[in-house]
Structure formats: C-alpha cells, structure tokens
Amino acid sequence: MTSIQQTDPEIAAIIVREEARQKGEVNLIASENIVSDAVLAAQGSVLTNKYAEGYPGRRYYGGCEVVDEAEEHARSRACELFGADHANVQAHSGTQANIAAYSALISPGDPVLAMDLAHGGHLSHGAKVSLTGKIYNFHHYPVSQQDEMIDLDLVRKMAHEVSPALIVAGASAYPRIIDFAGFRSIADEVGARLMVDMAHIAGLVAAGVHPSPVAHADVVTTTTHKTLRGPRSGLILCRKKWRKKIDSAVFPGGQGGPLMHQVAARAVCFREAMTDSFRDYARQVVENSVQLGEILSAGGLRLVSGGTDNHMILADLRSMDLTGDIAEAALGRAGIVVNMNMIPYDPAPPRRPSGMRIGTPTVTSRGMGTAEITRIGEMILEVLRNPQDQNRIEGIRAQVREMCEQFPTRI
C-alpha cells in the first residue's frame, strides 16, 4: 500500500475506501466472498511478471521452471480436492472456462440444452447477448411452475425434443440441490454430453455439503471466487478423454498467456479448501442460509421454492408489496447489500424484478454465526416493512456498523 500511496494517491485512497466499505457493511451478495491474506499475497506477487504460454514442461517461453511448479501444484490439488482426472487452471474467469468447455465438447451451431437465464441460469449458458448464444443453438429448460424446482421429467422431455449435443446443468440463482446423476441419465438417454457449471456451489462441493458432479459430468467448470473463496478465476475439471481438447481450447483456443499470480493463488485456495476449518465454514454457510430463510419466511417473505439447501435464498418481494429495485436500495441505505433478481415466471421487467437474491458466504467467512444471521434477518424484515422510513433505516445502519466492527474482513 505504501508504494501505491506514493505513486498514485488517488487509487490508494480508493482502495482504503473500498476496504472500509467492505468492513462496515453486511454483504449478502451470493456470488461474493472474502479471500484469505495468503490468497491475496499470491495475487499481489511477482509471479504477475511472468509470461508462460503453454503448459508445464511445454511452454513457449524460457524461464518458466519455477512457475511451472506453481501450476503443477494448482492442477494436482484441484484434482485431489474434487476427485477429478484432469484440471485446467488457466481460464481467466468462469465465463472463459465455459467458452473453452463448449468449444472442446461441441461444434458451432450444435443444439444445447441449459437452464433458462430468467429461472436461475447464467449469461454464459446461451443468453442472446452472450457470444455463447450466438455460436451455439441453445434451448432452455425452466423450473417447475408448481414448486419452482428443476423438474427432471420436463428436462427429459425437452432433451428428447431438442436432441442436444450437450446438456448443461448448474445455475447462478437456484437455492436447491441439483441432481447431477439425474442429468447424467438424461444425457445418456439422448446421447448428449453433460457439462456441469458449479460456479456458485464449488466450495460446498469441495467441503462435501453439496453432492459432487465430478463423477457424472464429462466436464465440470467453475469459478474459484464464489463459495470456494479463492482468487477471481476459472477452473475446468474433466475426464481423461477430454484432457487434450480442454487444454487446447483454453490455450491457444481462447486465451494467450496464463496469469501465473492467479494460478498460484488458485493453488493456495485449493490447499485451504482441504482443511477442517474450510469444511466448518462451508457447513456454517448452509446453516446460516437455512436459518436466515426461516427468519425471513416466518416474517412473511415468500422464499422461491419454499426454502434453501445451499448458500443462497431467492425471495419473492411481492409477498411484501415490494420490487427488487426498491428493496435493494432500501437495504443498501441500511448497510445490507443484496442484489435484485428475477424470480421464475417473473411478470415484472428485469430492471424492476420481483425478487432479490441473498447469500451467506461473505458473512460466514467473517465469522458470523446463527445469532448474527438471526439479527440480520430481523433487520432485513424491518427495512422491508419500512422502506421509506429514513429515521428507522438510519438506526439500522448504525446497528449494522456496530455489528460489523466485531467481524474482520481479513482472514
């Protein structure tokens, strides 16, 4: 920091302010987390200076013998952590990992079946505005209108209609356990390949608190910065037979040189995820989420699908006569950060959706447990019942600040 202060006081001040913001707010963004000082240190290291196009032992640059070892550690730890045959640790992000996986598994124009974006899927699962939606012929399955959960009978029916070359399972806004074995049997029935994007739940899978897709899928993609609590990056796990295609789809297929500081930070993250304390954290993430869901629904807020099995809750704000934009803004003024979100079969437009998404990874990483999450749930309800009451919201803001003081953002 001192060197930034001397060189660039403007950016130094921004970093200081952002750290203060993170410290003083209750962050319930389901896709965010806080990394350890060890992960932070690897990312801020001189490994950033190294070009290393290629893979360990087969680089297009000299001087790679040291960083080769970092990538070997990252790959072998990822395989050990998730029980995979092969790991590619170079994708710059989750979206890059998905683009590489598609290009390894299928050809342009091929039909693909993935979860509807408006029902919890991700942009990189074939949204019209995404490159993925332009290159491949995506079809999308909804969740059931009755219980708002994935309906495998419906997925099977669509798979028979569409005859996809690839089925994609995984979501960005789905609070329930996903039955990967069920998806595998559908893929087998229609002769499709199966890709699972576990970006949101990777940390829960690593800790064994969500079933693993690795034995069922041809390829598993993920981010490493959500529940897995690592650097911002992508990871691809695959069966032996896909190894070559996946590696060449990442480099030279879609990327140039890997970010070796980020590769090293992934290695640190995977080592941390093997520890008992990480498993305790992941269990607590789910416990906090379930507890928060119970408090909110007891207070009259309807939860999509009726509850949660993972780190996130999707709330239907119509049950409190609110829309996502208003709830997000009012909670934000109270120092509670969430994001507005579409809910399945949402009649409202995306800029004013009926729902909000709430997640417990960050607060759990800070050490908040059942008592704190219960209090947070009560504060959320109080704000949602009085979104225009500025005095009351300021009172809650003060309580949030006081609570946050006891829980560090550096771990």
Ligand X SMILES: *Cc1c(COP(=O)(O)O)cnc(C)c1O
As to burial, measured by CB atoms within 10 angstroms (0-12 exposed, 13-18 middle, 19+ buried), residue 277 is exposed
Q: Shortest gap between Cβ of 95 and ligand X (angstroms)?
A: 3
The nearer residue to ligand X, 165 or 228, going by C-beta atoms, is 228
Q: Is 223 in the site for ligand X (CB under 6 A)?
A: yes
Binding mask 239-278 for ligand X (x = CB under 6 A): ----------------------------------------
Catalytic residue, chosen from 184, 193, 226, 366, is 226
The nearer residue to ligand X, 94 or 335, going by C-beta atoms, is 94
The question of whether 197 is a catalytic residue gets the answer yes
Catalytic residue, chosen from 132, 223, 323, 364, is 223
46-54, 169-177, 266-274, 285-293 -> range binding ligand X (CB under 6 A) = 169-177
Q: Shortest gap between Cβ of 296 and ligand X (angstroms)?
A: 22
Q: Is 172 in the site for ligand X (CB under 6 A)?
A: yes
88-96, 99-107, 140-148, 366-374 -> range binding ligand X (CB under 6 A) = 88-96
The question of whether 53 is a catalytic residue gets the answer yes
Q: Closest CB to ligand X belongs to which residue? A: 94
32-40, 73-81, 197-205, 370-378 -> range binding ligand X (CB under 6 A) = 197-205
The answer to whether residues 273 and 203 touch, using CB atoms and an 8 Å cutoff, is yes
Catalytic residue, chosen from 32, 51, 72, 279, is 51
50-58, 196-204, 284-292, 346-354 -> range binding ligand X (CB under 6 A) = 196-204
69-77, 105-113, 170-178, 399-407 -> range binding ligand X (CB under 6 A) = 170-178
The question of whether 184 is a catalytic residue gets the answer no
Catalytic residue, chosen from 23, 32, 53, 318, is 53
The question of whether 65 is a catalytic residue gets the answer no
Catalytic residue, chosen from 197, 247, 309, 316, is 197
The partner residues of 313 in beta bridges, in order of sequence, read: 358
Which residues lie below 8 Å from residue 40, measured CB to CB, with a gap of 6+? none
* Residue of the chain from 113, 162, 199, 265 that contacts ligand X (CB under 6 A): 199
The question of whether 132 is a catalytic residue gets the answer no
- The 3-class secondary structure across the chain, one letter per residue, is CHHHHHHCHHHHHHHHHHHHHHHHCEECCCCCCCCCHHHHHHHCCHHHHCCCCEECCEECCCCCHHHHHHHHHHHHHHHHHHCCCEEECCCCCHHHHHHHHHHHHCCCCCEEEEECHHHCCCCCCCCCCCHHHHHCEEEEECECCCCCCECHHHHHHHHHHHCCCEEEECCCCCCCCCCHHHHHHHHHHHCCEEEEECCCCHHHHHCCCCCCCCCCCCEEEEECCCCCCCCCCEEEEECHHHHHHHHHHHHHHHCCCCCHHHHHHHHHHHHHHCCHHHHHHHHHHHHHHHHHHHHHHHCCCEEHHHCCCCCEEEEEHHHHCCCHHHHHHHHHHCCEECEEECCCCCCCCCCCCCEEEEECHHHHHCCCCHHHHHHHHHHHHHHHHCCCCHHHHHHHHHHHHHHHHCCCCCC
The question of whether 372 is a catalytic residue gets the answer no
Q: Shortest gap between Cβ of 24 and ligand X (angstroms)?
A: 25
Applying CB under 6 A, the site for ligand X has a residue count of 14
Binding mask 102-141 for ligand X (x = CB under 6 A): --------------------x-x-----------------
CA distance 156 to 51: 46
The nearer residue to ligand X, 95 or 305, going by C-beta atoms, is 95
Q: Is 284 in the site for ligand X (CB under 6 A)?
A: no
Site residues (vs ligand X, CB under 6 A): 31, 93-95, 98, 122, 124, 170-172, 197, 199-200, 223
Catalytic residues, by residue number, are 51, 53, 197, 223, 226, 232
